Amino acid sequence: MPIAVYMLGLLIFAMTTSEFMVGGMMPELAKEFGVSISDIGYLISIYAIGMVIGGPMVTIGLLKVSKKKALMTIAIFFLIGQIVGSIATSYEVMMVARIITGIASAAGFAVSIAFCVHLVEPQIRGRAASIVLGGLMIATVIGLPMSTMISQYFGWRTSFWVVVGLVLLSGLMVQWLVPTLPKTESGSIRSEFTAFKNSQLWAAFATSGLIIAATFAAFSYFTPIFTELTGFSASVVPMIMAVYGGATVIGNMITGRLADKFTMQTLFIGLVLLTVSLLMFALFASNPIITIMSVIVLGLVGVPMNPAMATRVMKTSNTGTLVNAIHGSIISLGVGIGSSIGALTMDAGFGLISTLWVGFILAVLGVISLLPFTRETFRKKTRSLNENHMNKGKSCVT
């Protein structure tokens, strides 16, 4: 695996740490800006909205630019947004900062995935994607707990400035170690737009969005759930986040290995486990042992489904930057839907527990969206096995 693939993963790590860090410092931000926890939840949603709307627009604008130059432009844009967040003196300014970083993050994901598949052979594209997306998983293991601890001991602004340094470092590493690829040809751009006529591509997008929405309906409110419902102390939360993050890394490694050969099976089994874990979490949120077990399963089969989701999209359509940008936007839309519906149910008076039930319902919808394609996959596998048995039988007769 080329070292450039790992450098792309490093950049994703820095960007994703910025995306997730708000979830670990909700009480501090709410106190700083004089708003409620649900208002801080909307900072996660607005980041996702920036990814959904602005990401594809920036990606389209950079289609004719070399992928490396596009990536460096995106990194600078992200850096500006993160600095604005670091010096924000009001909730509104923080909103603007989150929109800027969300737009840059979406374009960064799209270009990084499209970049990595051109650096490796087709048969290991799923594995390469898992390494790049592994930056996202490591952000939950190291980035999120780190930003949460720094926020608790040194203030949330220090945490934001540390991420500024991470983005700067990763951008320099990409500049030095990632090779320059040829510019995109106009014919390729037309083919990327043509890909969106494929209904199966949109079905893949829908399942991806539901998986992430279900995960983030719960994940966005982990900190208050742990402290207010389960009864953990605030000092224990970073350790629980680290356990969750460790599970995501393990899940990503497993999914990355299975994604190329068993794409649909991996998605189906992962979604079923996600649904069961959210149900158990919602029913027994006050039980510390079941809570930890649910968090581990959520870590294994939530966000780590990304490599399988990306592989399904590439198999259904193509490996173009725009397709990956729209897929990233759909995933970000899932983040926004999950966290926003969770905030709305809390505002409606259903309490923190309602966010887990929202996640469960979204996961059930994800399973339903996958059923027609899963049946077709298993039917093809069965037909292939039967044909192999028949051919062996004919060989024996001969």
Q: Is 347 within 8 Å of 39 (Cβ atoms)?
A: no
CB-CB contact of 252 with 304 (8 Å): yes
CATH of region 3-383, choose from 1.20.1250.20, 3.40.1280.10, 3.10.580.10, 1.10.630.10: 1.20.1250.20
* Helices 321-347 + 199-219 axis angle, to 10: 40
Contact call for residues 86 and 164 (beta carbons, < 8 A): yes
**Are residues 298 and 219 in contact, defined by beta-carbon separation less than 8 angstroms?**
yes
Residue in the structure block whose two tokens are 């983005």 = 167
CB atoms within 10 A of CB 392: 10
Contact 60, 274 (CB under 8 A): no
Task: Return the pLDDT at 185.
Answer: 45
What single DSSP character describes residue 305?
G
Burial of 183 (0-12, 13-18, 19+ CB in 10 A): middle
Nearest CA to 272 out of 309, 315, 310, 302 is that of 302
Contact 332, 52 (CB under 8 A): yes
Give the model's pLDDT for residue 183.
Answer: 54
Written as six digits, the tokens of 235 are 């000092």
The Cα 24–Cα 163 span in angstroms is: 14
Q: What is the rounded distance in angstroms from the CA atom of residue 174 to the CA atom of residue 214?
A: 33
Residue of 366, 223, 245 whose CA lies nearest to 299 = 245
> What is the rounded CA–CA span in Å between residue 158 and residue 284?
36
pTM of the entire structure?
0.73
CB within 8 A of 384, min separation 6: which ones? none
Coil, strand or helix at 36: coil
Of 7, 131, 143, 15, give the one whose Cα is nearest residue 74. Answer: 15
pLDDT of residue 197: 80
Predicted confidence at residue 213, as pLDDT, reads: 93
> Residue ranges of the domains in the chain?
3-383
Residue that the structure tokens 């649909």 belong to:
264
What DSSP line would sit under 184-229, residue for residue? Answer: PPHHHHHHHHHGGG-HHHHHHHHHHHHHHHHHHHHHTTHHHIIIII
C-alpha–C-alpha distance, residues 329 and 55, integer Å: 7
Name the 3-class secondary structure at 273: helix
Tens digits of pLDDT across the chain (398 residues): 788 888 888 888 988 888 878 877 888 888 888 888 878 878 877 887 787 777 778 877 777 777 788 888 899 999 999 999 999 989 999 999 999 998 888 888 888 887 887 787 777 777 788 888 778 777 777 887 888 888 888 888 999 999 999 899 988 888 888 877 655 544 456 666 777 788 888 899 999 999 999 998 998 888 889 999 999 988 888 888 888 888 988 898 888 888 878 888 899 999 999 999 999 999 999 999 999 999 999 999 988 898 888 888 888 876 667 787 788 778 877 877 888 899 899 888 898 999 999 999 999 999 999 888 766 655 655 555 555 555 655 555 55
Question: Residues 150, 162: contact at Cβ < 8 Å?
Answer: yes
Contact yes or no for 130/307 (Cβ under 8 A): yes
Residue listed under structure tokens 């999120």: 144
CA distance 47 to 215: 16
Instruction: Please give the Cα distance from 125 to 122 (Å, whole number).
Output: 5
Q: Are 138 and 8 in contact (CB under 8 A)?
A: no
Q: How far apart are CA 166 and CA 15, in angstroms?
A: 9
CA atoms of 225 and 359, how far apart (whole Å): 14
Residue 155 — left, alpha, or beta (φ > 0 → left; ψ -120 to 50 → alpha)?
Answer: left
